[in-house]
Chains A and B, each alone.
Chain A
Amino acid sequence: MDFQPTEDQKALREGIRSFVEGQLPFDRIPEIEKAGGFDRDLWNEVAEMGVFALRLSENEGGVGLGFSDAVLVFAELGRRLVPGPVVWTHLAAGLVDGAATGETVVGGVDLMGPTPEPVVVEYFDTLDVLLVLRSDGVYRVDPATCEAKPVDVPLDPLTPIHHVTALPEGDKIGDADAAARLRLEGAAIISGVQLGLSEGALELANDYAKERQQFGRPIGGFQAVKHMLAEMFVKQEAARAGAYNAGATLDAPEVADVQKAVSAAKVTAGESAIRNARTGIQVHGGMGFTWEVMAHYYLKRAWVCENMFGTQDEHAEKIATILEAAN
């Protein structure tokens, strides 16, 4: 057992990190926001980095990596708030033609949870294909056949949404097991994004606390602030452990209960992303409550992720069911 990221994984992480920081400096965000949250050029560049084809085998035109690599990569995308239906398209690679290269933009809707209403779909306008997860299978739907209206004000300014009022059944392209599997994988990948959000929110707050002076000294020198940052660090590390554990368990399912590992990650990283974002705003004080600083983007994205592939509550119940069976 060696739970550390390997040298290759560290290099992969560094590579993606410098790529997203280069392509998406924070001052580009307003422009992308104005363009409706989707930027074709950025999307193509993400595709060229191999993000969608990451887990496809090399003879399928992929990179041949595993879930632990995917979690690291998506953490970097989360950390920099990269917009677009990146997770769904990544999941669709190998299932939907053109997803692996990003030519086909794939979004999705997960109707397997306990309360599937209302059906709200991210980036609906941009989608070439809509995947629908139902408990009996995976369905492929042509977005043009749906009735949908854009929602005026999405929560996350970088995640436009539509309310889909009529959703045709579409073509079944996978059975019940495939649907459950995609959902599990989606939850693991999202926990990676949530780790990235936790990290991004802390980094922003930590830097601010070093610069911002009150009472003649940096606010980070005051324990009330320093301790908030330390709590964010603990949450971030818990999210990291949870997300890595989910990825590594999916890669070696014989070592432990995969569902438990993934649900644990979704619970831990989900809580971390939301809490860190909120505390991050607090560290920024009044400035944190403005649209000017990035802090609120982290909070808003965290809530989008919370509601993808099962909420904390839902995953907590899954774990409880596992505990009950063991008892």
Chain B
Amino acid sequence: MDLRTTPEEQKFRDDLAAWLASEVPAYGPPPSTHDWDARRAYDTGWQRKLFEAGYAGINWPKEYGGLDASGVEQLIYFEEIAKANAPYIGVNFVGMLHGGPTIMVEGTEAQKAAHIPRIISGEEVWCQGFSEPVAGSDLANLQTRAERDGDHYVVNGHKIWTSFAHVADYCEMLVRTDPDSSKHGGISWLIMPMDLDGIDIRPLPTLEGEGEFSEVFLEDVRIPVSNLVGKENDGWRVTNVTLRFERGTAFASDMIQLQAFVAKMVETAKKITSDGATAWDDKALRREIGHLSGELESLWAMVKLSVCEAKETGVPGVGASAVKLYYTDIFQRTTELAVRLLGRAGISRSDVMDLPAQHFFARHFNAISTAIAAGTSQIQKNIIGERILGQVKEPKPNPA
């Protein structure tokens, strides 16, 4: 147990910090959240900068243009990215964090050549077409059909909550290729170009009034068979590769950014006055903020432990679900405290009197979604209860 960095790790940190210190301010602040074309340009432009500087694909192998960084270097990377307040990964999330990695592991040489270089350099944006109206937590219950017609699959179905669908070039798509097989046995993982005929993307406003995700209707969409990743009907196994990446360190940088959020709360608390005293003069509030900040410190230590453990065992630590649950819980309590702090300024989502209502509520809503997206908190608890603590599984419904 040694928290000291080696000279090489320190050099990595110093070089990265110096690069970020010059590039981040020059790149400017993100565009309005409503302007999706501008957001795509901003996010992918930053990805390209990272790539050109050799800082893209932190955990990707070198042969794919990545950094192949050690676990510790990844931690350092996330710390420095947060410290520099660098642009968020944004629309590159799916491609960089699970779509691309899945193709690296499971794709054909042609698929790798077509997509990997373009994802890492910010030319290609991906989305994830897993969930359907009837298949959320029960993902394997998906109904979207793909029927073979010569060298194409003809796809019909309905996807929902597809983040970034409206700005994406490709979609990691799950389809049912064998309706007669078992629930998990007839699924396939396809690369779907988003410009094919028959794809209808209808924005589904979030509770933020935001266009983050859409419904995607698929009518006789013809996808080349060469876009199949892994074997036909072997998609459930491929999906688990994807989900493993998705639940890995995907939230690491958000966790450290929460420390900056806490600093913002302190600053805000000093500005809010009533009865002649500031909110920060309130001992109970100070304690609550201090408590949360202490938990955040432990949360980051939990990530460190899990990353160092993964280095030894080669797989993300058993604690990944615990990290996600703890993060979600702290995130929700922190941001809820922030909006409580706003008082009546908080019934506005525009900044009133210079109080960051917009920012605080955006983070709070984000915190709420974190307990739903990428496997709900209840599902994570099932995983811990059954796979780590060894309790008996839930009764399975009788196979139809």
Contact = CB atoms under 8 A, between A and B. Distances in A.
Interface of A: 1-6, 9, 68, 206, 209-210, 217-218, 220-221, 223, 225-227, 229-231, 233-234, 237-242, 244-245, 247-249, 251-252, 254-256, 260-261, 263-268, 312-313, 315-321, 323-324, 326-327
Interface string B61-81: 000000000001001000000
Given A210-B392, A237-B326, A241-B299, 6 more contacts: A1-B72, A2-B308, A3-B301, A206-B391, A229-B389, A237-B322
Contacts of B72: 1-2
A256 B392 contact: no
A93 to B, nearest CB: 21
Contact of A255 (B3, B312, B381): B3
A316 B325 CA distance: 22
Interface stretch (B168-176, B182-190, B280-288): B280-288
B287 A313 contact: yes
B289 A320 contact: yes
A240 to B, nearest CB: 7
B343 interface: no
B15 interface: no
Contacts of B23: none
A317 B5 contact: no
25 contacts: A1-B3, A2-B308, A4-B305, A6-B1, A68-B1, A206-B390, A210-B392, A223-B378, A223-B385, A226-B386, A230-B389, A233-B388, A238-B298, A238-B322, A252-B3, A266-B294, A268-B294, A268-B295, A317-B287, A317-B290, A320-B286, A323-B262, A324-B266, A326-B263, A327-B263
B253 interface: no
A245 to B, nearest CB: 4
Given A4-B309, A327-B263, A260 B3 contact: no
B13 to A, nearest CB: 11
A237 B302 contact: yes
Contacts of B75: 1
A13 to B, nearest CB: 11
B138 interface: no
A221 B391 contact: yes
Contacts of B386: 226
A254 B393 CA distance: 47
B326 A320 contact: no
Contacts of B5: 1, 255
Contacts of B390: 206, 210
Interface residues of B, number: 58
Given A4-B308, A247-B1, A234 B384 contact: yes
Contacts of B293: 264, 319-320, 323
Contact of B290 (A68, A233, A261, A318): A318
A238 B326 contact: yes
Interface string B368-400: 000000000010111011101111111100000
A245 B298 contact: yes
Nearest to B313: A4
Contact of B394 (A4, A223, A319): A223
Contacts of B136: none
What are the 7 tightest A-B residue pairs by CB atom distance, in nearest-first order? A320-B290, A220-B391, A226-B385, A316-B290, A242-B298, A264-B297, A264-B294
Nearest to A227: B381
Contacts of A1: 2-6, 9, 72, 75, 304, 308
- Counting chain B CB atoms within 10 Å of each CB, the highest count among A2, A254, A320, A324 belongs to A320
Contacts of A264: 293-295, 297-298
Given A238-B298, A242-B298, A268-B294, A248 B389 contact: no
A233 B389 contact: yes
B291 interface: yes
Given A1-B2, A234-B325, A241 B263 contact: no
Contacts of A223: 378, 381-382, 385, 394
A316 B266 contact: no
Nearest to B319: A237
B344 to A, nearest CB: 24
A218 B392 contact: yes
B267 interface: yes
A282 B5 CA distance: 43
A233 B293 CA distance: 21
Contacts of A244: 1, 301, 305
B252 to A, nearest CB: 14
A327 B1 contact: no
Contacts of B298: 238-239, 241-242, 245, 264-265, 267-268
B277 to A, nearest CB: 15
B3 A256 contact: yes
A137 to B, nearest CB: 27
Given A2-B308, A316-B291, A319-B290, A242 B297 contact: yes
A315 to B, nearest CB: 7
Given A264-B297, A264-B298, A323-B290, A3 B308 contact: yes
Contacts of A229: 384-385, 389, 391
A77 to B, nearest CB: 18
B302 A267 contact: no
A237 B309 CA distance: 13
Q: Which of B270, B287, B298 has the most CB of A within 10 A?
A: B298
Contacts of A5: 1
A318 B302 CA distance: 22
Contacts of B391: 206, 209-210, 218, 220-221, 225-226, 229
Interface string B21-44: 000000000000000000000000
B322 A234 contact: yes
Contacts of B290: 263, 267, 315-321, 323
Contacts of A251: 1-3
B392 A217 contact: yes
Contacts of B381: 223, 226-227, 230-231
